[in-house]
Structure 1
């Protein structure tokens, strides 16, 4: 159980790290802190004393306690020879993330950087904990995959504090729009469009789209799904759009698809999936109901992961750059660090990267036009 002293100390550190207290700003008085945390003056003084000793705060006799300028400390620490990069992803060992991380790590290691890897599990609270840990240590730069990027992020102040401390960061797979950061992403709207148009050109008109919408990748892929229907003049049944969030990903999509398949009015011939991971779960549902792919229903995935070729049905899927994205992220963050540390004050141009999606064709989709010609 966290002690009262630790609670006060942690809260004050958080206010420094999220920018509530800026360098040389006077912090709340002892009386105010006593009321805020419901603790004794002795507890408040212990917490403040420890933070003064460790360089987070400083005192001015007769005036009060102030937030220290930790950017000066960062500059002093950066004089050492160890170079550190943090990589923050939503997951580490799942799905396509190991390939992205390996791509980045190989380039960073060759450039002499020590790499620390963190996972948020797509949780804002965990993201905040990681950002606080990073801000208390010395990192030259950060590669970040945003957490629930489709939602308003409660940790924006931490990123603004990174900028104030001149710690470069870039975002991969998605980005927080309000920050307008350097980013390395796919054109997910076009990818969702291509998934859907592929099925439409094969003669499918009753197509279900299933998208994870707490990340911008999913909302953009859904937008592409809608655009393809509009372009080809195909009416879209609202019940054919299934959305879900991180907590629901192992249950809701397959449950909703099974309901549609059980409906008496079911005439679905095509399924657009948010990613290959979802396709594998859907294949289990279809197998139980003795529905053949692509004979009875065509499916297209996204990411062209290893799952696309290990399943009994080889999946048509949108290719994700994976390792290439990781390498590009590593090279970009190194360029930013070098530009920041340039003694000649030469700022090199570093731009965001948007990958154009491509379809990898396999055997999970069927041409209904050809089938109609032979009957």
Structure 2
């Protein structure tokens, strides 16, 4: 069980890291902290004492307790190895090892140390990761947003990265309110291409499965809808299935089973990614349906899963290694620009949007 003084300590530390308390700002008095946390003066003093000893706070006699200066500019030894943090929603799953390898190979070759973090697509985990990054001597951050379709509760941590002059770029998606440099696939066009492919093959009853807590899923669903509209094909309300990260292994297969039990069975399936496509392939096998004879299915990302089963998936490519390497090159440019002789120089680094490509394999056929 967490001690009372440690709870006070971590809360104050979080307020420093998210920018609520700025450098050299006076924090609340002991009496105010006692009322806020409902603890004794001794508990407050123990918490503040540890934060002073660890360099987070300093005291001025008769004036109060203040936040220590956190900016590291000008104090780094010239021969110190620079450190880049890479944060993804997952590390060892799906396409993420390829993205990380692309970035890590370039950064290591350039003499940078790499720290890897995973949020597991959870905002509380993202908060802990950002606090860890802000507590360390990190020079730049490559980050994949967590639940990018939602308003982010950790936005202040990104503001603090900016205040501390720590450059960051985002991959796969971005927080719209920050308007950051990013590397993304044109997912709306990708979703459009998935759907139009099946429409050109004569399919009309096409069900789409989209993970909608991430921006990629929202945009792919938009492309699915746009393809139907442009081709003047009505969409059944039952044919758009949305799910969250936590629901993917449960809701998607359950919903497909319901649709396959109806009179109007779908002949085509559009998937948020290759991972969900393989989950749905298991349902089709269970129902004794053949792909593509009975049902055509399209994945997304051209991951290793696209060719992992006996059914080779038609899918949309994802630049994976290239995205990782390009992100690494961009963050190095930003770090060098920040630490160069003219720090106000506007480094020419721009957002990268990759155009999708349809890769046709044996999982789709004419109706």
Question: Which TM-score band (shorter chain)?
Answer: over 0.9
Asked if the contact 2:259/2:265 (under 8 Å) is kept, the reply is: no
Superposition pairs for residues 338-357 of structure 1, below 5 Å? 338-345=336-343, 346-357=345-356
Which of 329, 332, 340 aligns to 2:330? It is 332
Superposition pairs for residues 274-293 of structure 1, below 5 Å? 274-293=272-291
Asked if the contact 2:188/2:220 (under 8 Å) is kept, the reply is: yes
**Counterpart residue number, 1:83:** 82
User: Partner of 1:70: helix, strand, or coil?
Assistant: coil
Structure 2 residue 51 is the aligned partner of structure 1 residue 51: yes
**Counterpart residue number, 2:265:** 267
Structure 2 residue 73 is the aligned partner of structure 1 residue 111: no
The whole-number CA distance in structure 2 between the counterparts of 1:267 and 1:42 is 68
Gaps in structure 2 of 5+ consecutive residues:
none
C-alpha displacement of 1:138:
0.5
Q: Which moved more, 1:143-152 or 1:1-10?
A: 1-10
Q: Deviations over 1:67-119 (max 9, x none)?
A: 22211x45424655121111000001101000000000000000001111011
The whole-number CA distance in structure 2 between the counterparts of 1:134 and 1:76 is 18
**Counterpart residue number, 1:252:** 251
**Counterpart residue number, 1:185:** 184
Over 3 Å counting, the alpha-carbon distance change for 1:163 and 1:78 in structure 2 is farther
Q: Which moved more, 1:123-132 or 1:345-354?
A: 345-354
**Counterpart residue number, 2:150:** 151
C-alpha displacement of 1:310:
1.6
Asked if the contact 1:29/1:64 (under 8 Å) is kept, the reply is: yes
**Counterpart residue number, 1:372:** none
Asked if the contact 1:77/1:138 (under 8 Å) is kept, the reply is: no
C-alpha displacement of 1:267:
3.4
**Counterpart residue number, 2:99:** 100
If the length of structure 2 is used for normalisation, what is the TM-score?
A: 0.98
**Counterpart residue number, 2:30:** 30
C-alpha displacement of 1:339:
0.8
User: Partner of 1:88: helix, strand, or coil?
Assistant: strand
C-alpha displacement of 1:201:
0.8
C-alpha displacement of 1:50:
1.9
**Counterpart residue number, 2:19:** 19
Structure 2 residue 304 is the aligned partner of structure 1 residue 306: yes
Gaps in structure 1 of 5+ consecutive residues:
369-375
Asked if the contact 1:140/1:337 (under 8 Å) is kept, the reply is: yes
Q: Deviations over 1:180-210 (max 9, x none)?
A: 0000000000100000001011111110000
- Count of aligned pairs between the two proteins: 366
The whole-number CA distance in structure 2 between the counterparts of 1:69 and 1:124 is 27
The whole-number CA distance in structure 2 between the counterparts of 1:166 and 1:79 is 18
Q: Which moved more, 1:75-84 or 1:124-133?
A: 75-84
Q: Which moved more, 1:120-129 or 1:57-66?
A: 57-66
**Counterpart residue number, 1:371:** none
Over 3 Å counting, the alpha-carbon distance change for 1:117 and 1:161 in structure 2 is same
Superposition pairs for residues 125-204 of structure 1, below 5 Å? 125-204=124-203
Which of 310, 314, 317 aligns to 1:316? It is 314
Which stretches of structure 1, 4 residues or longer, exceed 4 Å deviation after superposition? none
The whole-number CA distance in structure 1 between the counterparts of 2:132 and 2:168 is 15
The whole-number CA distance in structure 1 between the counterparts of 2:266 and 2:244 is 23
If the length of structure 1 is used for normalisation, what is the TM-score?
A: 0.96
C-alpha displacement of 1:266:
1.9
Q: Which moved more, 1:24-33 or 1:46-55?
A: 46-55
Superposition pairs for residues 223-242 of structure 1, below 5 Å? 223-242=222-241
Asked if the contact 1:74/1:138 (under 8 Å) is kept, the reply is: no
Asked if the contact 2:19/2:160 (under 8 Å) is kept, the reply is: yes
The whole-number CA distance in structure 2 between the counterparts of 1:78 and 1:200 is 61
Over 3 Å counting, the alpha-carbon distance change for 1:17 and 1:80 in structure 2 is farther
The whole-number CA distance in structure 1 between the counterparts of 2:155 and 2:88 is 17
**Counterpart residue number, 2:7:** 7
Asked if the contact 2:142/2:168 (under 8 Å) is kept, the reply is: yes
**Counterpart residue number, 2:204:** 205
The whole-number CA distance in structure 1 between the counterparts of 2:215 and 2:342 is 39
